[in-house]
Amino acid sequence: MKPVLFLNGPNLNLLGTREPDKYGTTTLAEIEKEVREAADEHGLAVRFTQSNHEGTLIDQIHLAGTECQAIVINPGGLTHTSVALRDAIAAVRLTTVEVHITNTHRREHFRHHSYISAVADAVILGAGTHGYVLALRHIAHLLAAPGPLPATPRRIT
């Protein structure tokens, strides 16, 4: 079975110590452990990648196009700036769930726009680190449905 790729962008390697008032004290390793446990419950394989480099994230998305069955992505600050990341997700046409630990709409105005949301099949905001598990469970729900994962048409804007 192909894994679900969990892709984390810049500064998410600092979870647990970075602005704990916003992001909590849970580390990325602890999130990965929780997701692995949920994946085991659903019989799913998972793969995790974190990078502070946009090109590395894009390369991972390209690989996912042939090696993975879905993507869960927290692009961090690249959410609001990276057309290239958005284009990579659109190009591979995998079911994609965008996750943010905080509710970006309750934060600074520049965080209200996401280039990724237009090409994501679902968006989870403000559920804390539990949002990663929610994303995995949503993908498991889609996989349990008869037939292939929904081929959501990608809106090109």
Catalytic residue (choose from 23, 80, 109, 115): 23
DSSP lists the bridge partners of residue 121 as: none
115 is catalytic: no
Question: Which of these is catalytic: 80, 100, 109, 132?
Answer: 100
Give the C-alpha separation, 28 to 33, whole Å: 9
Residue 130: active-site member: no
Cα–Cα distance, 91 to 68 (Å, whole number): 14
Q: Please give the distance of CA 128 from its chain centroid, rounded to a whole number.
A: 13
Sequence letter at residue 102: T
By CB atoms closer than 10 A (0-12, 13-18, 19+), residue 148 is exposed
Q: Which residues are catalytic?
A: 23, 100
